[in-house]
Amino acid sequence: MSTRPLLLEARGLWERLAREPGSFPPTGGMNVIVSPESGLCPAGWVGVVVLGGAALVTAPDESTAGAVRTALAGLPPTALADATAVREVLPVAGVLGPATLAYVAPEGFRPAAGPSAVERLPGGRPALRALEEAAGEEDSAEASLEEITSDAFVVREHGRVVAAAGYRTWPRRTAHISVLTAPEARGRGLARTTASAAVADALAAGLLPQWRARPPASRRVATALGFEELGAQLSLEPPPDGPAPRPLATLLP
């Protein structure tokens, strides 16, 4: 699968999550839609997904959508995943992301084998919870291992799980990959080894692997496995009184 079919699959997924089929604009465009139940962001927030140079934006109501359209109209679509650029034109109370979105097709997948054996086990095992505790709240939240619907693919050392990966099945036969490594075991390729097993399992099931990441180290693992970065996701929390474009004077030096 070339980049173009991957891009179409990815856009189809996020249109489904936006609850609006066919809502992704052509490359170079931006489309702001009203979608109170959007899966692009937390409830009541503004969701932004940029893929292949086009941006799909969801807002919880028409008033917010109008303000967002006006504020973001002067930005190129690729800048809409830049939290700093967006905040210069649109007041927000909070931001999640941006997170890079990457995908891989079977022919682009580069499996990784390491010196450590990968074991397959059910995702809800206490061993995974112990790994999350060892990794800390921030890294565990980023990985979201507790959400996987697949089996977990793990590496043990001295009987303890030090790295794990799996995936959660999303709409449109998408496999959202999760990976986590204990702090003392990082830098040895264990994330790549366990993630490779999870991705291989997803591809064998006919699923499209998706890798969403913020940390550079996680993005490097995805690239090593053949994932292509096609865009990014950003979530914006409107201020209590609703968003409004900043007056032009506040944007000038």
110 and 178 inside one domain:
yes
Where on the phi/psi map is residue 226: left (φ > 0), alpha (ψ -120 to 50), or beta?
left
143 and 195 inside one domain:
yes
177 and 195 inside one domain:
yes
110 and 219 inside one domain:
yes
Band (pLDDT 50/70/90 cuts) for residue 159 is confident
- Tell me the per-residue pLDDT of 188-244, one tens digit each, with 9 for 90 and over: 889 999 999 999 999 999 999 999 998 898 999 999 999 999 999 999 999 887 665
Eight-state DSSP code of residue 154: E
Q: Largest Cα–Cα distance in the chain?
A: 62
Would you state the structure tokens that stand for residue 205, as one six-digit string?
Answer: 């099931």
212 and 195 inside one domain:
yes
36 and 139 inside one domain:
no
pLDDT at 46: 97
Q: Is the pLDDT score of 250 beyond 50?
A: no
113 and 201 inside one domain:
yes
From CA 54, how far away is CA 71, in angstroms rounded? 17
From CA 207, how far away is CA 104, in angstroms rounded? 10
39 and 114 inside one domain:
no
Give me the number of domains the chain comprises. Answer: 2
Give the DSSP letter string of 162-189.
EEEEEEEEETTTEEEEEEEE-GGGTTSS
**3-state SS class at 73:** coil
Looking at residue 222, which CATH number applies to its domain?
3.40.630.30
Band (pLDDT 50/70/90 cuts) for residue 92 is very high
Give the DSSP letter string of 92-119.
-SEEEEEEEEEE--GGG------SSPPE
Name the residue range of residue 29's domain: 3-100+232-251
Q: What is the pLDDT of the chain when averaged over all its residues?
A: 90
- Tell me the per-residue pLDDT of 8-41, one tens digit each, with 9 for 90 and over: 999 999 999 999 999 999 999 999 999 999 999 9
